[in-house]
Amino acid sequence: MKLIWQKSGDFIEIQPLNLAVAEYFFENCKKINQNIFYSENKINTNQILEDLVLSLKKINEIFELFKINDLKLSISFNQDELNLLHERWVLINRKYPMLGSLIEKKQKGSKKCLDEINILIHELETSFELTLTNNSSVYFVNNFGPEVTSFDKANIFLAYKNLGRQSYDKFINFDKSTKNLDRNDFIELGGYIKINLQRPQSVPVSPDYISWCNNNNIVFPYGDKINLGNFLNIEENLTKYRQLFNKNFCLEKNEVIFEL
């Protein structure tokens, strides 16, 4: 599988997780001419990176007054660089617990600038997440059953925007009306896909949720999403993929298609 940006021709290979589901979903989208997906939200990754670089530059100018060189580092979308900066930021705050107050006396706003470095690192790391939609009101019957749902974290998955409420949603919101008609565990498959550049991982089902399902005669602890795949070798290619996200999702009307 591939995610392809139509305007640039850039693409990312996908390792399928539920190939039969992906084939069924995308082929049905194609049949009704709804196989082109648009981003519901623009990513601001480039702005966050620019803000981080600027904050780092400002704080290093202040640190020069104290002969502190710990944060004189290059910074980009590379996670190794972000990890090193975060580590150095933590260590310098441990080494000089009153550092924020000290630099604030030298220059007003310096403490905020120092704190923003940590905030912006975490903001950048989690900013590569988008919802794609084909703007279709058509939903396809889920012939695979709700058992294909999962709690595992994947890079590409069908998001829940169905009419109704999932069993898990009822569980976390103290909804005791499990038998009425608003319960919907992906009975249909709709045109909303979430993508991200986070680490894929297995997530076990909560024992409390399993117990709740048993007590409410729900035969299976259905998950909250349907995973379609992961970007190929994401750890090795993370910087490249971030650059592609940053480049392509900042372009207007740069539609996405999924090639099987």
* Mean pLDDT per 10-residue segment, the chain (260 residues): 94 97 96 92 91 96 92 96 97 91 88 95 96 92 95 96 91 83 90 96 97 92 97 98 94 86
Specify burial of residue 3 (Cβ count, 10 A radius: 0-12, 13-18, 19+).
buried
Specify burial of residue 74 (Cβ count, 10 A radius: 0-12, 13-18, 19+).
exposed
Region at 250 (left for phi over 0; alpha for psi -120 to 50; beta for the rest): alpha
- The DSSP call for residue 165 is B
Q: Characterize the bridge pairing of strands 11-16 and 38-39.
A: unpaired
54-74, pLDDT tens digit by residue?
A: 999 999 999 999 899 999 999
Q: What confidence score (pLDDT) does residue 180 get?
A: 66
- The token duo for 241 is 């993929």
Q: What confidence score (pLDDT) does residue 177 get?
A: 77
